[in-house]
Structure 1
Amino acid sequence: MTSRNSSTPSPERAQRLPVASKVIPSSYTSWIKKTAWALAIANIFLIISGGVVRLTGSGLGCDTWPKCTSDGSWTTTPEMGIHGLVEFGNRLLTFVLVIITIVAFIAILGIVFPQRVSTGFFVKKLIFGARAHESRYADLFNLTLLLLWGIPVQAVVGGISVWQKLNPWMVTAHYILSAIMIALTAIYLNRIYRYFGGTAQAEGLAAEAPREGSGLMRVLGWLGFALVAALIFMGTVTTGTGPHAGDAETHRHAFDPVLVTRLHGTLVWTYCATVLAFFVLVRKYALAPIFTKSLFWVLLVLGYQAVVGYTQYFNGLPAWLVEFHLIGSGIFSLAAASLIERQLVLSSAASRKRALERIS
């Protein structure tokens, strides 16, 4: 099994390639990996930006959507002050994410469809996605397509939350969509590195059959998925019960803040226990070396989140600490999704076989 990197042009060769060949390469280049990381960073930054909007009380800085003001202005006005600038700036970041996502999407088109395809065929793929029999790398196309379509969906949900004056359930939906987008970028990154970046060896894919202990690995993977989904959801409920609403007049959940915070914390510690159990499993059965790296990053982020989370809880939820917790939540979504994807793919004979077929 040889790496796809063998077809990567040398630096001297790359300098002579036209711009179009760099932007839409016909074989793997580092440009594809860079655009994948740009996708992950941009989606995490959107959470950071959204946190700034909420923590500065600027959630209704633009009081309607898609326009910024109810009197018809598309942009913020001086009368709206700093809150209008903050919220409008956050809206503008959506266009930056659109550009980055489009660049990442077109970067893999030359690999997904190496032969010229008709306009009708491509339009159909934009709506319904690619199938495995149509392209060896249909999964990469579909992941970037989902990220592309996710942006207008996210914008509409954000708009509805403004219409509903930052109803906390709509804010929950808005955040969860961001977490899903980050998880999709984690899966995309895993597969870019697996197919072209040389991690297939560290993942033990040379052997098509899963190793002993893979059954329990799969159980822990699905359990981890359920726990991560639950703890992210409860994190948004906890936020929706707390003081940082995004606007002084908006509705808050009537739940007991101590109870929901403890429930969120319990889910986090339960997930941490499954991660530690998987660490023991990796050592016992000498599972793929890549898991050591994945586990390190997940445990590091969990430790960071625990320190920041408990510090903010015992200090009255200062806004700057809440923002640091939000940053950690975005990175956690990336790290946890990466680990879970590896658990589920490497524990399945069928998934391993499909992955091997995409590695040249």
Structure 2
Amino acid sequence: MPTPHTPTAGTYQPTTLGEHLIPRHYTRWIKKTAWAVAIANIVLIISGGIVRLTGSGLGCDAWPRCTSDGSWTTTPEMGIHGMVEFGNRLLTFVLVAVTVIAFLAVLGVVFPKRLSPISFLWGLLVGARPEAYKAGGLGAWLESRGLVAPRSRYSDLFNLTLLLLWGIPVQAVVGGISVWLRLNPWMITAHYMLSALMIMLAGIYLNRVYRYFEGTAAREGLSPAGQSRGEDAYAPASAHLMRALGWIGVVLVVALMFMGTVTTGTGPHAGDAETHRHAFNPVWATRMHGTLVWVYCASVLGFFVLWKQKGWAPIFGKSLVFVLVVLGYQAVVGYTQYFNGLPIWLVEMHLIGSGIFALAASSLFERQLVLSSPAAREKAAGRVLTS
């Protein structure tokens, strides 16, 4: 039977605005905010692409202020470039608002019992401790007195939203350093890779919201907590292959996205006419990026074959289709832009695809790594909402 603080699917109806925004049990509002965070981070990549492709990277030539003479906002003399760059900076505040809303939306589900201010601040600083913490000891004593955040069935959701929150100021600082260094291409790489990481965290968060609350656990071969789980604690047949391909996917995705930024750093779209570029051969950089993409595609197709042969979880079909469709789109756009002199509208379409690809790839390898591990499967099954 569920504990007194375990939500039951479909029974909880918020009655006030506060309960709608910070529900005590799971509602579809949490799923909506999870999607909003993912989309907002992809929009930030789109906006950053517009800044770079229009040559507006130094439209605001200082940071955190917009101008070196102390103005926080753009001025008419800065023209369209100033407006584009300042608009991109303002989108950071939109991302903050969306992420805070998502954090608050899941807070009541993660901690059904009211937290003391000290507990809440401690949780904001270091995250929620996993439920595997042993009973007794100093940690239990501190928890019993409300000095640290209590153990939670959904501590992973809290920690993921917390990482998404902490990532925003880190990303802002990296962006500011990029301006100080006059759009050094290595700093632009760091800026983009952080954005991709944020999208991947959002993808993992989405996976887990759907797994715990929206019924995808059944298609993953998991049963809700409190029900007989049979072989849920055991990994599927040839799980070592699933796990190996999951980690190979992680490495290849990071490598191909990194090489994508290096390729961009050798190309003509610098963000400002006076910004220096990488001295690498742009053709070879492009070929290396393309080769990594094809190797990753081969690993995904290999996983597809194994998925059919081994009878792995049906949900992988959805993840594989998502990844392969995005890869196909990226291939068409990427080769078209390469053979047509990198027109800015095609480069922007490729950037949009890269954000969606980060979401698709993270959804796939999160499932590969969780479902191939007996310990992770057991933990995930224990978090599935009862119906």
Specify if TM > 0.5: yes
Which position in structure 1 is the counterpart of 2:371? 346
Which position in structure 1 is the counterpart of 2:262? 237
Distance 1:6 1:279 in 2: 35
Aligned length: 355
Distance 2:270 2:37 in 1: 28
Which position in structure 2 is the counterpart of 1:118? 116
Question: AA paired with 2:173?
Answer: V
Distance 1:7 1:357 in 2: 15
Q: Deviations over 1:164-221 (max 9, x none)?
A: 0000000000000000000000000000000000000001113411211211010000
- SS in structure 2 of the partner of residue 64 of structure 1: coil
Structure 1 contact 5–196 (Cα < 8 Å) conserved = no
One of 276, 294, 308 as aligned partner of 1:269: 294
One of 165, 176, 200 as aligned partner of 1:183: 200
Distance 1:356 1:341 in 2: 15
Distance 1:78 1:284 in 2: 63
- SS in structure 1 of the partner of residue 280 of structure 2: coil
Identity %: 70
Which position in structure 2 is the counterpart of 1:307? 332
The reply on whether 1:39 has 2:37 as its aligned counterpart is yes
Distance 2:299 2:306 in 1: 10
Which position in structure 2 is the counterpart of 1:219? 244
Structure 2 contact 42–199 (Cα < 8 Å) conserved = yes
Question: AA paired with 1:7?
Answer: A
Question: AA paired with 1:96?
Answer: V
The reply on whether 1:8 has 2:10 as its aligned counterpart is yes
Question: AA paired with 2:89?
Answer: R
Question: AA paired with 2:124?
Answer: L
Structure 2 contact 171–191 (Cα < 8 Å) conserved = yes
Distance 1:296 1:346 in 2: 18
The reply on whether 1:285 has 2:283 as its aligned counterpart is no
Deviation at 1:5, TM superposition (A): 8.0
Distance 1:103 1:109 in 2: 10
- SS in structure 1 of the partner of residue 240 of structure 2: helix
Which position in structure 2 is the counterpart of 1:145? 162
Question: AA paired with 1:280?
Answer: V
Superposition TM-score, scaled by structure 1 size: 0.97
Distance 1:105 1:50 in 2: 24
Structure 2 contact 222–377 (Cα < 8 Å) conserved = yes
Structure 2 contact 40–95 (Cα < 8 Å) conserved = yes
Distance 2:281 2:9 in 1: 58
Which position in structure 1 is the counterpart of 2:228? none
Which position in structure 1 is the counterpart of 2:383? 358
Which position in structure 2 is the counterpart of 1:99? 97
Question: AA paired with 2:202?
Answer: T
Question: AA paired with 2:362?
Answer: A
Deviation at 1:21, TM superposition (A): 0.6
Which position in structure 2 is the counterpart of 1:23? 21
The reply on whether 1:170 has 2:187 as its aligned counterpart is yes
The reply on whether 1:254 has 2:279 as its aligned counterpart is yes
Deviation at 1:117, TM superposition (A): 1.4
Which position in structure 2 is the counterpart of 1:196? 213
Detail structure 1 runs of 4+ shifted over 2 Å in the superposition.
4-10
| 1:59-74 aligned within 5 A | 59-74=57-72
Distance 2:177 2:44 in 1: 18
Distance 1:5 1:83 in 2: 50
Distance 2:24 2:156 in 1: 17
Structure 2 contact 237–310 (Cα < 8 Å) conserved = yes
Moved more, 131-140 or 244-253: 131-140
Which position in structure 2 is the counterpart of 1:161? 178
Structure 2 contact 9–213 (Cα < 8 Å) conserved = no
RMSD value, Cα: 1.3
Question: AA paired with 1:75?
Answer: T
Distance 1:352 1:64 in 2: 48
- SS in structure 1 of the partner of residue 217 of structure 2: helix
- SS in structure 1 of the partner of residue 342 of structure 2: coil
Deviation at 1:44, TM superposition (A): 0.2
Which position in structure 2 is the counterpart of 1:332? 357
Structure 1 contact 166–250 (Cα < 8 Å) conserved = yes
Deviation at 1:298, TM superposition (A): 0.1
Unaligned runs of 5+ in 1: none
Deviation at 1:9, TM superposition (A): 4.3
Distance 2:47 2:300 in 1: 30
Structure 1 contact 5–197 (Cα < 8 Å) conserved = no
Flag the structure with higher helix content: 1
Unaligned runs of 5+ in 2: 132-150, 224-230
Distance 2:190 2:9 in 1: 43
- SS in structure 1 of the partner of residue 170 of structure 2: helix
Distance 1:122 1:69 in 2: 38
